[in-house]
Structure 1
Amino acid sequence: MRLSRYFLPVLKETPAEAQIASHRLMLRAGMIKQQSAGIYSWLPLGFKVLKNIERIVHEEQQRAGHIPLLMPTLQSADLWRESGRYDAYGPEMLRIRDRHDRDMLFGPTNEEMITDIFRSYVKSYKDLPLTLYHIQWKFRDEVRPRFGVMRGREFLMKDGYNFDLTKEDALHAYNRHLVSYLRTYERMGLQAIPMRADSGPIGGDDTHEFLVLADTGESEVFYDSAVTDISLGKRDIDYDDVAQCQAVLEEFTSLYARTDETHDEAVFNQIPEERRRVARGIEVGQIFYFGTKYSEPMGATVQGPDGKQTPVHMGSHGIGVSRLLGAIIEASHDDKGIIWPEGVTPFHVGIVNLRQGDAEVDAACDALYKSFTALGLEPLYDDTDERAGGKFASMDLIGLPWRITVGPRGLKNGVVELTSRRTGESEEMTPEDAVARIAAIYADH
């Protein structure tokens, strides 16, 4: 994309309403525009990152054997009355009446609707196990929306639901989700720690939150520093292997990691003092096992091997897709702007033309642009007449991981400058070597 043809409304000043880094930088980098309290338009740059995050979530869910669908945002209140949650959920639910005076709601979650879909079509234990998920916009009427996309009223969320014949099968689905979530976060350049948590209005006995460490996190967390050294890396995970998924859960949860809600000071003090950590964390996902909480009252049963009808065991699993974008920025920025991990960056590399209109420099930039495009990579080429300082400031603000600077002085020596946004280190090399270096970096993503 040529910057002269792109819509990127960068702000030079920090908006007064922005209290945390992600909100401030998303507004300044032209990624979002607030339309009303807690509700945002996603401008082109922000939308590109959002779609990259959504793509990774889809890929890892389907790698784990989960099946995508799409449910509506508006739901019938009758389904929620069946489960007993319509009156219990609270004022965060936006309740609506349509023109025929029927009670509706803007869905904050989908346990009731997915259970209705399941009971309509699945009748036998032979059709199990089954996990369905979707990525959809939700609405929760927060009393005080704040922090940009971190605590908005409208948000994009992945929610998945497993249906299993037995508790043991459902707990394997729980462990499978934990593994798939950890892989998802790692691909986004995040270190997310699973922590046992409170189930809240979803219900159930087993639940883990996934928290990313950041100074602006809403939760106080207590953890053993050794837990941040664990990585799934390139492990070959067999999601059908019960023992392997259980082993990953035990590996991550054997080391102390708790939110303030579940913190046990006595257990924490048993950790070697040099490994005890207290920090803030941002919740970016949660998984639940809640057994037959919804299947029993809503009649979601299957015929078991013994011929008898039995309610299925269920769980739900959420990832805050739009919230993740803010969490990534909170975990990866500096005083100049955003620092995107390669896995989610809106553009793979920035090309800065230091002398727009110079025939040799223009030709070199065009050649780089074409080379990257031919490799399936997407560059952002700053071909504007802005001064060099302004171009560098904008590139630093929007946070592309790599920048190639092209100027007449370097070209006389046959080189361009490749700069890492994360480290700030620069290296001179031929344009061909710069293309090859960037291509090799993204081959791993």
Structure 2
Amino acid sequence: MAHASPRRRTLRRTATAVGAVAVIALGAAPAGAADPDTGLVMGKIGPIDGVKPGSEVGLPGSFTNTGTEALDKVWMIWSATIGLGYSSPTPSNCSTENYGGADEAPQSYLLICEFDQTVSPGVVYAPEGPKLRIQDSALNDELTARVSKSPIQIPEGSPTQGTGPAIKLVERPDETPAAPGSTEPARAGTKVTAKSTADFQVTGAQLKGKVGDTVPLTVKFTNAGPGWVAGEPYESVTNVHIKMPAGTTVTGTHSCRDQGQGAYVCGTSSSFMHPNTEHTYKFKLKINKAVPGAKGSVALEEKSRPFDPIKSNDSADILLDVEGAGATGGSGSTSGTGGSGTSGSDSSGSTSGSGGSGTSASGGSGSASGSGSTSGSGTSTTGGSSATGTSGSSSTGGDLAETGSGSTLPLAAAAAGAVILGAGGVLVARRRAARQR
């Protein structure tokens, strides 16, 4: 199932965040009104843990008619976050839709099925299919199920009707039915955790100029996947800390916060991040004076990321070769990209001087040189690539963020586009994120 690309915008925290970016209440009754689906009770759905991307598992969701009369027809709907999908072909009595993909909500994948059969009181029913598919991008996902007495419609939806064999509800005699007259919710949700990872990585830069020059600086933060990651609603997925080389002043930037003394903090444009996507941070850097060995750094914030086992690419150097400053270690690499490589629009560039050459492992290649005449050879290695030169050696690292261990980034229902499902009409609550400058 194809995923839409996330929209690129600067994220600002909304002070009155309601805890949900896209809340779909399908037929939610006004306060004080009777729930139109009273008498339909969903059974609890346990967590689905340790599933393998590319696999399929049974689509959960069973319910009981706790009323006193049989029903002639019911509808069920499932909403899955972007690491999940449904097996093909879609049954002919079901349709699929993509919902969301705007503001801070990623898309939700909906499956809506109509069951034209008798549903007797006091009996547990569940659909005989289809299956829940674990996508390659799965990591920490959520699934919500809902049963309704009324047709379910999605606003501005474009449903795709299934063409496969129709499915039906089957009795589940091994499950305990809900108590007669119970008014428990007609919805249930669960978390789906995949055996996967997401590689967060940064790239640095190699700069060259003379005193008085203003040079462009571009650094990147990438989720190299394979999993997607969601953070708290209206919060950056992570923050990137950038320290400028000594002897320079930032004269222009966009969407990064100035922390003083040449330090900046840059966030992400949304509270979730698809795999193989990146954020680029651009600055204009004025060289005020020549400082031998001037070097800045790029590093992910000090935050636990258990889903990211590769720590060698969590930091990178910003190397600056100032004409007349002496040797700066021009063979240093600008990034660590060990493990999986970045994708997207990797940058490359080269600078020249009187020293040796170096290699950048940030998806492209570049060369930098010091102007000193020191003899000997040096080697710099990042992510499996190495370069030798005659101007000494420099290695990556900089101020490496301590990531530690602990819980994963929370998969907030809002950031993941979680769906709270009701029955009948439709209410959509959205929050728009303003651009921060």
TM-score (norm 1): 0.28
Higher strand share: 2
More helix by share: 1
Larger Rg computed on CA atoms:
2
